[in-house]
Structure 1
Amino acid sequence: FVKRYDFDHHRMSMSVVVRNRKSGKYYVFCKGSYERMQQLSTPGSVPADYKSVADRLAKDGCYVLGLSYRELPSDWTHDQVVEFADNREAVDENLSLLGLILFRNELKDDTADAIAKLKAGDIRTVMITGDNAMCGCYIARQSGMVSSSSRVILGEMVSTTEVKKLVWRDVDSEEEYDLPAVKNLVERGEDVELAVTGVAFDYLVSMGEIKGLLLHIRIYSRMTPDGKVECVKLHMETGAVTGMCGDGGNDCGALRFAHCGVALSDAEASVVSPFTSKSKTIQSVVDLCREGRCSLATSFASVKFLVVYGLISSMLWVFQSYHTVMVSQWCWILSDGFSLLGCSYFITLAKPLKELKPVRPTSSLIGPTTLVSLFGQQVVNIIFQCFSVHLLTSEVWYCPFSPEYIDAAKWWLMADNHLSTLFFFTIIFQQHTAAWVFSFGSIYRQPIWKNYLLMGFLAVLATIDLYLLLGEPNAVTDQFRISSGTNVVGLPDIPMPLSFRLKYLGVVLGHFIVSVFFQHVVVLGPVRSYFRKKYHSDAIPMRQ
């Protein structure tokens, strides 16, 4: 060839200037969108039914390209041809239409399933493509993005004798609408999906009409790379978390600007996109949403556990200061050195659900869901802490601790009393309950019992706790200064009876039940759903 012009997204064509070695003649061949080829070709070479045939083929799912050519004058020298070929505008003039090139645009096997899963997860999917609108409509219907019962109304710019105007047309019935009629259809909630061409999209943007239609447009066709970026930006401006997936160089800009981009190829798109799919299918988008929701919910669970853990410990210090007692050092070793580290790690091992649910986890650290969960659990904790103290001090055998007889240099002796034992068991059981309840949320993650390491760790902790609480006095309970016996000098002369310890275990179980009920019913269940439906006014109205 003499000269090659690669595909230009703005011109929607590519051209080559070549020489036939046998005849020595020079030719220009140009291919691109069939609309563009109609514009570049001389009217006499374009059949009268060219547009209708191309539209019909595109509507049947074919990727349709036009092909045109031009034979250069035989008396031109090679230098003249080279000089001519340097001017692309001249190369693309006075072409004669040769015909159409058809590629079958088949869906990948898992595309329809992926679209269905995204819809089930309350995620709106739209198509932003450089392909023809008719082909886009076919793919959208085949994939389930547009239901078979929905009407598709296409907005495109049509040339008149004076100016271009925006015309909306039903792709099946060819019925035409004006812009007010289209707005009326979508506002009434009719079963209608909108599609626009890139030129129509630019017109709607320039006229300030795009924002009212943006979340009703399903198919954006013949979009340039800049148009794709603009479309993504507009969706982001609505407040919606916006993702983009694509496999070509013309998707790079949109992949980079979106909140999250998934490259479906290892080519240039993977360089600018934070995620690259190994399977090269949009099923990767489903997997990313599953993992993302699970990660967000798990991160908040970890934060809430640490916050409540700190609040429980803070209240312990308040009670200790008020009663002038102290829990033993080994109690803190078990709490901070073993329980805290283990629970904090194992909570993060939750796995995502295999399907997407139509509910999103909160993304606000100071939002109602987070604050109600935190402070609600802490209120429950304080109530049971106070009740436990009242239960102990009401016993006839209870001996009040007298700190004035303790040598200040021997501060550890302040742990040798019934209150210190009670405080230790209260905080340790409440901390373990917090790890349990904040691991709920199986609408985003697999159920807590499928987090086997966390369940095993909590079982070990529960075994240790029950052994210390109910076990007979021994070297271990003595090390923790548990007042169930009198084997250690300094412990109360009256041991904590087993009957009281069993009664206290009932309080622990009551606290566990109330905490689980509050988290499951109020924070994650029907109470949250009721208030969210009634007061959640910032939800973005969009059709899935």
Structure 2
Amino acid sequence: MLFCSAVEVAVLSESHDLCINGDCFEMLQSTEAVLQVIPYVKVFSRVAPEQKELVLTTFKSVGRVTLMCGDGTNDVGALKQAHVGVALLNAEPVQKVDSKSKAENKSGKLKNKKPANEASSQVTPVANSSGKASSSLSLTAAERQREKLQKMLDEMNDESDGRSAPIVKLGDASMASPFTAKHASVTPTLDIIRQGRSTLVTTLQMFKILGLNCLATAYVLSVMYLDGVKLGDVQATISGVFTAAFFLFISNARPLQTLSAERPQPNIFCAYVLLSILGQFAMHIFFLITAVNEASKHMPEECIEPDSDFHPNLVNTVSYMVNMMIQVATFAVNYMGHPFNQSISENKPFKYALYGAVAFFTVITSDMFRGLNDYMKLEPLPEGMRGKLMLWAILMFCGCYGWERLLRWVFPGKIPAWEKRQKQAVASLEKKHH
């Protein structure tokens, strides 16, 4: 019998796909080499139920993320151990009863019939020419009842729209798994991966957008509030409407059908998210402070009390415009589309909302409709400041977009490293034996 060390197994797995069966598994268990070999194996065949469960626990002990598909009670242990369990309903379609046999039943010519499926009971009526009429009538009624039940089963099995509840039989593994596939196929695992990745990247972008909006709002409501900067009721209402529309339509993105080789970030608390928020927030604050300082140069010398009522002035107008430009840029820059979700151009409701917001703020910044600005209590901008605001907004957007793309390139999603954790598990096991 040939034995290999853990290092040799690791080297061999780099050039070959390792496969073992139940007998090899028993040998590994007898030599206590499960932790050294199992994490490198890709194909397991003819393994016992307890060996399936041991495979899952071994993968989990070294930090691997596991998904298990099973269709029977012998898979319950492994399904419970997996991070994601998918039960496959191994039901065969019910055979339909032809019209000829139905006609024979109605005419009283009863013959032996094969069972429609495993769940239906075998009924073998015997027609005797010398039998009594009451016996023939009772058998015919039983046959009609059986045909009625069989027709109901046919209709339930013919439904393929995916909305009807699957039929769970004794022996199904659905009692031990959070997901249940209606048919005996592993294709639903692709849907789980697609939806899981989409949910993860959507959660990441939502946290980033909320973090940036909260930081900008906190600065406006704390530091700038002491200088008398406030928002009018109409201004706050329009700002809230755009924010609600962005959050509503950004969740409309659907996952792509093709699985990408790239992986999303595994969690929220990582260097990519932290650096992205800090870098964009620095650009937002610099844009906001620069624009407000420029507007302050055109303001008369006056002391505005923080608790005084709102009255329109140039600083309020500029801070509102800049704050809304920052909000639009935050949603556009941090939207995560390909290779996991639909892009902005494919998510049309969100695209139209962005276009509408950009057009709206271009109109109020350029003072194209003075009546609209008066209704929103926005002061006219000095000559030359409009061009500066638009230029600074474009530079801010380009800077945030470039910073975000750079971080996505520097910090790509990777498979969690498990080799180090496997070595630690092997070392701790050896220490226990010694």
- Cα distance in 2 for partners of 1:223, 1:201 equals 8
Partner of 1:339 in structure 2? Answer: 242
Partner of 1:108 in structure 2? Answer: none
- Cα distance in 2 for partners of 1:367, 1:264 equals 36
Gaps of 5+ in 2: 90-167, 421-434
C-alpha offsets along residues 271-315 of structure 1, whole Å, 9 cap, x if unaligned? 322222245322221221111101110111112211211111112
Report deviation, 1:322: 4.2
Measured on the aligned residues, the alpha-carbon RMSD in Å equals 2.6
Is 1:244 the counterpart of 2:72? The answer is no
- Cα distance in 1 for partners of 2:274, 2:30 equals 43
Higher strand share: 1
Is 1:326 the counterpart of 2:326? The answer is no
What amino acid does structure 2 have at the position aligned with 1:540? Answer: W
Q: Which residue of 326, 329, 353 corresponds with 1:457?
A: 353
CA contact (8 A) 1:302 1:347 kept: no
Q: Secondary structure at the match of 2:384?
A: helix
Is 1:524 the counterpart of 2:408? The answer is yes
- Cα distance in 2 for partners of 1:190, 1:306 equals 43
Report deviation, 1:363: 2.9
- Cα distance in 2 for partners of 1:514, 1:250 equals 56
Report deviation, 1:482: 0.6
Q: Secondary structure at the match of 1:388?
A: helix
Query: In terms of mean alpha carbon deviation, does 426-435 or 243-252 score higher?
Result: 243-252
Partner of 1:311 in structure 2? Answer: 215
What amino acid does structure 2 have at the position aligned with 1:250? Answer: N
Is 1:212 the counterpart of 2:36? The answer is yes
What amino acid does structure 1 have at the position aligned with 2:224? Answer: Q
Q: Which residue of 498, 501, 504 corresponds with 2:389?
A: 504
Describe the shift of the 1:402–1:280 C-alpha distance in structure 2 as closer, same or farther (beyond 3 A).
Answer: farther
Q: Which residue of 291, 296, 315 corresponds with 2:195?
A: 291
Is 1:179 the counterpart of 2:63? The answer is no
Describe the shift of the 1:353–1:240 C-alpha distance in structure 2 as closer, same or farther (beyond 3 A).
Answer: same
| Number of equivalent positions | 340
What amino acid does structure 2 have at the position aligned with 1:528? Answer: F
Q: Secondary structure at the match of 1:385?
A: helix
Is 1:380 the counterpart of 2:283? The answer is yes
- Cα distance in 2 for partners of 1:374, 1:358 equals 26
Q: Where in structure 2 are the equivalents of 1:67-466 lying within 5 Å?
A: 167=1, 177-180=2-5, 184=8, 186-187=10-11, 191-205=15-29, 207-265=31-89, 267=169, 268-335=172-239, 337-393=240-296, 398-400=298-300, 402-404=302-304, 410-413=308-311, 416-466=312-362
Partner of 1:96 in structure 2? Answer: none
C-alpha offsets along residues 227-286 of structure 1, whole Å, 9 cap, x if unaligned? 211211111122122111122332222222211112222551223222222453222212
Q: Secondary structure at the match of 1:450?
A: coil
Report deviation, 1:425: 0.8
- Cα distance in 1 for partners of 2:204, 2:275 equals 13
Q: Secondary structure at the match of 1:359?
A: coil
- Cα distance in 1 for partners of 2:66, 2:300 equals 62
Gaps of 5+ in 1: 1-166, 168-176, 485-495
What amino acid does structure 2 have at the position aligned with 1:178? Answer: F
Report deviation, 1:423: 0.7
TM-score by length of 1: 0.58
**Whose RCO is larger (CA < 8 A, sep 6+)?**
2
Partner of 1:103 in structure 2? Answer: none
CA contact (8 A) 2:201 2:336 kept: no
Partner of 2:117 in structure 1? Answer: none
CA contact (8 A) 2:231 2:316 kept: yes
Q: Secondary structure at the match of 2:345?
A: helix
Report deviation, 1:188: 5.4
Describe the shift of the 1:403–1:387 C-alpha distance in structure 2 as closer, same or farther (beyond 3 A).
Answer: same
CA contact (8 A) 2:209 2:331 kept: yes
What amino acid does structure 1 have at the position aligned with 2:386? Answer: R
CA contact (8 A) 1:302 1:348 kept: no
- Cα distance in 1 for partners of 2:355, 2:247 equals 15
Q: Which runs of 4+ in 1 moved over 4 A?
A: none
What amino acid does structure 2 have at the position aligned with 1:321? Answer: Y
- Cα distance in 2 for partners of 1:373, 1:227 equals 45
- Cα distance in 1 for partners of 2:87, 2:411 equals 36
C-alpha offsets along residues 151-205 of structure 1, whole Å, 9 cap, x if unaligned? xxxxxxxxxxxxxxxx4xxxxxxxxx3234x852542556333333335324424
Higher helix share: 2
CA contact (8 A) 2:69 2:186 kept: yes
- Cα distance in 2 for partners of 1:184, 1:387 equals 62
Q: Secondary structure at the match of 2:17?
A: strand
C-alpha offsets along residues 381-406 of structure 1, whole Å, 9 cap, x if unaligned? 11211222343345xxx1245135x7
